[in-house]
Amino acid sequence: MTFIQTIIFGVIEGVTEFLPISSTGHLILVDYLLQIPATEFVKSFNIAIQLGAILAVVVLYARRLLVNRSLLARVVVAFMPTAMIGFLFYKLVKTYLLNNPSVVVWALFIGGFAIFAVEWYLGRPADKAGRRAAGTKNLETMRYREALVIGLAQSVAIIPGVSRSAATIVGGLLSGFSRTAIVEFSFLLAIPTMLAATSLDLFKSGAIFTGGEWLSLLIGFVVSFAVALVVVKWLLRFIQNHNFKLFGIYRIIIALVFWLVIF
């Protein structure tokens, strides 16, 4: 992997990690476009640089988590399903799903329609009792059961292309949370999720990396961190006046382009 490719991957990761469009899926598709061999290092690189983007959330939200121990506890509860499922299926995912562009394209396509379906549901007019589908719950009122449901939704994202953020956002919206609340919870839930995923992968594969490969990891990490700082702030502003349909459209278009033009 060249220096320029490392920069490109770092930018892509920083931009896509917190948007509901799948950062891992995008990295796999770019691997395919650039004809980068699916080595153990490349697979690990696509996992590990996500931790750089997650560090942006740590910087922005560490104080809130340390002060609000109740919120921290709910993040831990939501993390548990992904931790168990990810550990059990780690070998399967890394061997057969990572660097499989067909799986990514199908996941992007289906996920795009799923986002549209949820937004249609949330956009329905109020019923006779005045109740609306759109959620208004905030993180301060989140129950442990609701955190667990969101965590179960996130666990589906072990399939590349599903998108960890999309899964948590959809799970949270269907649980009645506001867009701002569930996006912030998705940010926070990313911290233990990607820390665990990266640690497990580097523990299993890191010993075979060369000095140059470790340098590439460091560069990708730093670039993704810097870009993610900007994207996190932008997304919070964007959802104040917009829904997630734009991301659903994007997912469907990317999937169709790959199926009809590139594959």
What are the residue ranges of helices labelled H in 89-242? 90-92, 101-122, 144-155, 164-174, 179-205, 211-238
Cβ within 8 Å of residue 111, ≥6 positions away = 20, 22, 161, 162, 163, 166, 248, 251
| 3-class SS of residue 144 | helix
Closest CA to 54 of 195, 237, 154: 195
pTM score of the predicted model: 0.86
Per DSSP, the three-state class of 177 is strand
pLDDT at 142: 92
Please tell me what DSSP assigns to residue 124. S
CA atoms within 13 A on the CB side of 3: 0
pLDDT per residue over 102-150, tens digit each? 999 999 999 999 999 998 888 765 554 445 555 778 888 899 999 999 9
Confidence at residue 152, expressed as pLDDT on a 0 to 100 scale:
94
Give the tens place of pLDDT for each residue, 60-104: 888 888 888 899 999 999 999 988 887 788 777 777 777 788 999
Among 31-35, 39-43, 158-162, which stretch is predicted with the lowest mean pLDDT? Answer: 39-43
pLDDT computed for residue 184 by the predictor: 93
pLDDT of residue 52: 86
pLDDT recorded at residue 36 = 84
